[in-house]
């Protein structure tokens, strides 16, 4: 079974994922996770960093080169605390509008009209 994750935040600099602990872990399914993100994000991942909260509550980085998974990097202690404080917000994957009320990749209006994405 594939991993399940939600997109907590997305912007021009980074993507923040939360592992939902159903199926494989994001760690063990990172290649597919990167492929899914590449497909659903308009314009692809680009130069964004991908961070994720694993099933132990720790944040790490998924490294991507040329749009493909190429390993992991641990987040430092200061990165752990800063990432944990980030609000759920970003550019909606459906309409492209920025929203501070961000539900798994969608703005409030698109979430109400289309339902939440859980990948």
Tens of pLDDT along 50-102? 999 988 899 999 999 999 999 999 999 999 999 999 888 788 888 888 877 77
Q: What is the structure's pLDDT at 59?
A: 96
pLDDT at 114 over 80: no
| Rounded Cα–Cα distance for residues 35 and 67 (Å) | 8
Give pLDDT, residue 47.
Answer: 94
Distance CA 29, CA 71 (A): 12
**DSSP letter assigned to residue 76:** P
pLDDT confidence of 117, banded at 50, 70, 90? Answer: low
- pLDDT of 39 reads 92
Whole-prediction pTM: 0.85
Which has more pLDDT, 110 or 49? Answer: 49
Band of pLDDT at residue 115, cut at 50, 70 and 90: low
**115: how many CB neighbours lie within 10 A of its CB?**
11
Residue 103: enclosing H or E segment and its boundaries? Answer: strand 102-103
> In a 3-state reduction of DSSP, which class is residue 98?
strand
């Amino acid at each position: 079974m594939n991993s399940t994750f939600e997109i907590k935040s997305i912007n021009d600099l980074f993507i923040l994922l939360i592992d939902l602990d159903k199926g494989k872990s994001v760690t063990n399914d990172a290649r597919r996770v990167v492929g899914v993100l590449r497909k659903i994000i308009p314009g692809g991942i680009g130069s964004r960093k991908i961070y994720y909260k694993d099933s132990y509550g720790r944040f790490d980085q998924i490294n991507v080169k040329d749009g493909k998974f190429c390993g992991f990097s641990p987040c430092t202690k200061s990165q752990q605390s800063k990432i944990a404080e980030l609000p759920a917000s970003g550019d909606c994957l459906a309409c492209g509008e920025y929203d501070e009320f961000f539900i798994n990749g969608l703005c409030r209006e698109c979430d109400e009209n289309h339902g939440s994405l859980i990948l």
